[in-house]
Structure 1
Amino acid sequence: MKIACLEHLLPGDRLQDKWEFALRVGYDAIELRGRGAYTLRQRLPELRRAVRDGVVLPTVSVDMRHFFGAFDRELRRDAIDQVKSQLSAMADIGGRGVVTPASRGMFSPLLPPFRPPRSAEGDRDVLVEGLTELGRHAEKEGVRLFLEPLNRYEDHMVNRVDHGAELIRAVGTAGLCVGGLGLAVGTFHLNIEEDHPALAIRGAGRLVGHVLAADSNGFQPGAGHLEWSSVLSALSCVGYDGFLTVKCRLRGDEVAAVASVPAFLRSR
């Protein structure tokens, strides 16, 4: 089992310092944080040095104020351009790809005005269009774009694993090889949205290209009640051979919490 950790959770100022700690406690890689304003592209000299020093950087998680599913056309265009830049940056350092949701915090049907400004059909058209462009760019660069479904409180468009899988398959039927696209499965979101998390993973099969690990309460694995053995067994069943990236809040002493995760997951 290969386990990664989001960079800002690891102690240390430089990636090399974070890597030293990560190796010591049992991690195999660091997932980068993809802030807006083309920050990742600006970090390329730093990232190249880190890779030369042996730091394993397979993926980046998009962390911007708007995403490719935004209601506003100009914001969508900006998000797509920035994610394409991140895909190219990951190709430059030999990474696997970029993880992004369709949106985050843009609208909730559980709060007033309860009705989004765009229809469900309009949402789907926007998402397929964005995934098509991003998937083509990812395929050209030799990396992948991993779509992350979020729970209903964070995104109103793509909440379940089968939602994400259907969108990826729709892009495939439009003539794009799905090799440039995959699903990022977040265990915290599985716990909220799926009747049977393990069955959801098995249903997506080989489309599962990335896994984000947090417990049922959003804290580090081991701090909640998620049935990790069944989730890990399902990932093994579908032949998943990528990383489990720890992306969570931390309960208790933060350094100790981060350090506890690899041993906990490998004991399940």
Structure 2
Amino acid sequence: MRITCQEQLVPGRTLQEKFDFATAAGFDGIELRGKGDRHFESRLPELARAKADGVVMPTVCVEMPHFIGDFSAELRRDAIDQLRSQLSVIAELGGLGVMTPASWGQFSLRLPPFEPPRPPAEDRAVLLDALTELGEHAAALDVLIMLEPLNRYENHMVNTLAQAVELCRATGLGSVRAVGDTYHMNIEEDDPCSALAEAAPYLAHMQVSESNRHQPGTGHLDWAAHLATLDAIGYHGDLALECRLRGEPETALPQTAAFLRKFL
């Protein structure tokens, strides 16, 4: 398993500088962030230069104001178009794929007003339509679109790996896969290790952060058990650090890479 680090966590003016810092700190690559308004597509010359200079950039984590599960058909369409563009860019870079949640910050069943404006059957239908379209585009490019479950306070549609896997399976496409995130799993999964094992055939990527959303090693997650489970199921993907840093990156990032590598 490689350990990668999201680009916004790493000091440096350029991706080349960030990669140099990341590798010196013990990481193997950079996870990119995919903003909306074709911003990621506009970065292609920069990304192509970084690739030519040896920067490893396997994955893209979406960072947009709206997502494929939005209540607005217009905003859903824009999110799909943005993700299609991001898939095309990561394919040109030879990467693995792009990940997205169903939505983020749109609605929570656990907070007022409690009653969503769309029933669960329609939630599933819009997500399945979007993932099928994106999966067909990804398949043509030989990359993946990956669905990330979020916790109940950030999203009301897909909270567990089992829910993500059900949608992946329903598309019938090998290019639609699931992402595990240890922070969200700590909130939503009754048994995170069992959830990983059950999702194994569809698990394409992992994001790692602590129970407190800081870097691994600062909270109460059982990293030995989590990473032993990934090893046992034959997971060979990346572990991408997505968290808030407690401490300065010059200290926190090398400590975090060393902490994770103890269990690999």
Contact 1:191 1:197 in 2 (8 A): yes
Report the alpha carbon displacement of residue 169 of structure 1 after superposing the two structures with TM.
Answer: 0.8
Match 1:260 to one of 255, 258, 261: 255
Q: Secondary structure at the match of 2:45?
A: helix
Report the alpha carbon displacement of residue 253 of structure 1 after superposing the two structures with TM.
Answer: 2.3
User: Which aligned segments of 4 or more residues in structure 1 are displaced greater than 6 angstroms?
Assistant: none
1:202 aligns with 197
2:212 aligns with 217
2:36 aligns with 36
Structure 2, unaligned runs of 5 or more = none
Does 1:85 find its partner at 2:85? yes
Does 1:10 find its partner at 2:10? yes
* CA deviation map 1:63-101 (0-9, x unaligned): 000000100000000000000000000001111100110
Does 1:130 find its partner at 2:130? yes
1:19 aligns with 19
User: Equivalent residues in 2 for 1:111-260 (5 A)?
Assistant: 111-172=111-172, 178-260=173-255
TM-score, length basis structure 2: 0.98
Report the alpha carbon displacement of residue 259 of structure 1 after superposing the two structures with TM.
Answer: 2.2
- Aligned equivalents of 1:112, 1:154: Cα separation in 2: 13
Q: Secondary structure at the match of 1:5?
A: strand
Q: Aligned-residue CA RMSD in angstroms?
A: 0.8
* Amino acid of the structure 1 residue aligned with 2:8: H
1:175 aligns with none
Report the alpha carbon displacement of residue 255 of structure 1 after superposing the two structures with TM.
Answer: 2.8
* CA deviation map 1:7-62 (0-9, x unaligned): 00000010000011111111101000101111111000000000000000101100
The aligned length equals 263
Contact 1:185 1:210 in 2 (8 A): yes
Contact 2:186 2:192 in 1 (8 A): yes
Report the alpha carbon displacement of residue 205 of structure 1 after superposing the two structures with TM.
Answer: 1.2
- Aligned equivalents of 2:157, 2:232: Cα separation in 1: 28
Q: Secondary structure at the match of 2:256?
A: helix
Contact 1:201 1:234 in 2 (8 A): yes
Report the alpha carbon displacement of residue 229 of structure 1 after superposing the two structures with TM.
Answer: 1.0
Contact 2:145 2:175 in 1 (8 A): yes
TM-score, length basis structure 1: 0.97
Structure 1, unaligned runs of 5 or more = 173-177
- Aligned equivalents of 2:146, 2:253: Cα separation in 1: 24
- Aligned equivalents of 1:132, 1:171: Cα separation in 2: 6
* Amino acid of the structure 2 residue aligned with 1:43: R
- Aligned equivalents of 1:237, 1:163: Cα separation in 2: 22
